[in-house]
Structure 1
Amino acid sequence: MKNNLLGRLALIALLAIVSTACNKNNDGITPQTHDANVYQQIMHANMTQMNAMKMTGDPDHDFAMMMSMHHQGAIDMANEVLKSGNDPMIKTMAQNVVSSQTSEKSQFTQFLSSHQAVASDAGKTFDAMAMQGMDKMMKAQDTRFLSGNSDVDFTALMIDHHQSALDMAQMELNYGKVDSMKQMAQKIIEEQKTEISQFQDWLIKNKPY
């Protein structure tokens, strides 16, 4: 009888501990469903558009085409955090993303309007690797913890998005032939490496989990 009483008291104590832990979690950050997250919605819509692109097999042409659409995803995400975010540093970085990538999109558009695509084995390799890179980015983003905090979620997902741009730019350096596109690829690598580091530093200091 005494043992049963002690057992029941122990069970009650354990349940109290579990309940307290659950309440602490409930008082903290609750993960947001990915489909409900506005940044994930932007990225999935952008990826759908990229998957619908008709690749030419020309590495420079397809780099310009894919990177232009990739930039649009970053611009859309940056405009969202400018609207719904609160952190001054993140808003400044988002405005830089909008300005720089809008300018680069214009350069890509100009190149595409004057460049005649010519398929090659190198281009086919580029296309296959680029699409694998896009899939890698989406898998990384689909496994991110999303808090519903606009500044935090934008920053976390932009790190993955920028890394994808770095990967694609490196592919252009490896397989591209046109100097202007290779120069743009190098510029993207240099700029977005720096931005990734800045985003990471901010996230380490400000993540709510």
Structure 2
Amino acid sequence: MSSTRTLTRRATLAATAVTAALVLAGCGSADGGSGHSGHGASSSASAEATAGAHNAQDVAFAQGMIPHHQQALEMARLAPDRASSAQVKDLASRIEKAQDPEIRTMSGWLTAWGEDVPASGGSTESSMPGMDHSAHSGMPGMMDAADMEKLRKASGADFDTMFVTMMIEHHEGAVEMATTQKSKGEYEPAVAMADDIVTAQTAEISEMNKLLGRN
């Protein structure tokens, strides 16, 4: 991630902090958004992988989306102890419930294909806060180490604002990656999962923009 992009994101964080903190402060007892179970619901996407028809794009999708999801889980697992908004906590919980099973499914595909599985990809319980994502920092929407450290140190309304702002960018990156998979992938369960990701994360982006008081 370039320094210009990081500075732009941090400027966005600062610019939205006042309005977003006010909006989020009023959401603490609100119902947690749409309540959908997220993008882990596709039965086809959770099917056991075989060494059947797949291409290089399918492999790249799984190898890229696993660490992308792992960082989202790392962010989401900070929310229970740091967030002040019930809506933010609910959103984080839904993200974890959706993306954890997807990591396991994609890891199974890669194993069946005889491809490398990204570190900790087979068991997200072993992913500890502060895990190194620097090797994947060039992927769309990935936060850098400084961003993650800032999020870990935040609490209350500041955490809520930072978490939502960062997760919007993270989701936008996942949607970009999944859209590529939909157009270029061959393995049907992977294409189905990509479609789930686009649908669910686009809806969550809209939800998060509302939390920030954006139209």
The bucket for the TM-score relative to the shorter chain is: 0.5 to 0.7
Distance in 1 between residues matched to 2:80 and 2:167, nearest whole Å? 14
Residue 134 in 1 paired to residue 139 in 2?
yes
* Percent identity between the two aligned chains: 29
Kept in 2: contact 1:166–1:193 (CA 8 A): yes
Deviations 1:63-95 (A, max 9, x none): 011101100000000111222111001100100
Which of 78, 85, 93 aligns to 1:87? It is: 85
Q: 1:62 is matched with which residue?
A: 60
Question: Please, what TM-score do these two structures have when normalized by structure 2?
Answer: 0.56
Which of 154, 157, 178 aligns to 2:187? It is: 178
Displacement of 1:106 after TM fit? 0.9
Find runs of 4+ consecutive structure 1 residues off by over 6 angstroms. none
Between Structure 1 and Structure 2, which shows a larger proportion of helix residues?
A: 1
Displacement of 1:116 after TM fit? 4.3
Summarize the alignment of residues 29-178 of structure 1 with structure 2, pairs less than 5 Å apart. Answer: 58-116=56-114, 134=139, 148=154, 149-178=158-187
Deviations 1:124-162 (A, max 9, x none): xxxxxxx897257659x97xxx9x511110000000000
Distance in 1 between residues matched to 2:140 and 2:189, nearest whole Å? 27
Displacement of 1:175 after TM fit? 1.4
Kept in 1: contact 2:73–2:99 (CA 8 A): yes
Q: RCO higher in 1 or 2 (8 Å CA, sep ≥ 6)?
A: 2
Question: Please, what TM-score do these two structures have when normalized by structure 1?
Answer: 0.57
Which segments of 5 or more consecutive residues in structure 1 lack a partner in the other structure?
A: 1-27, 30-56, 118-130
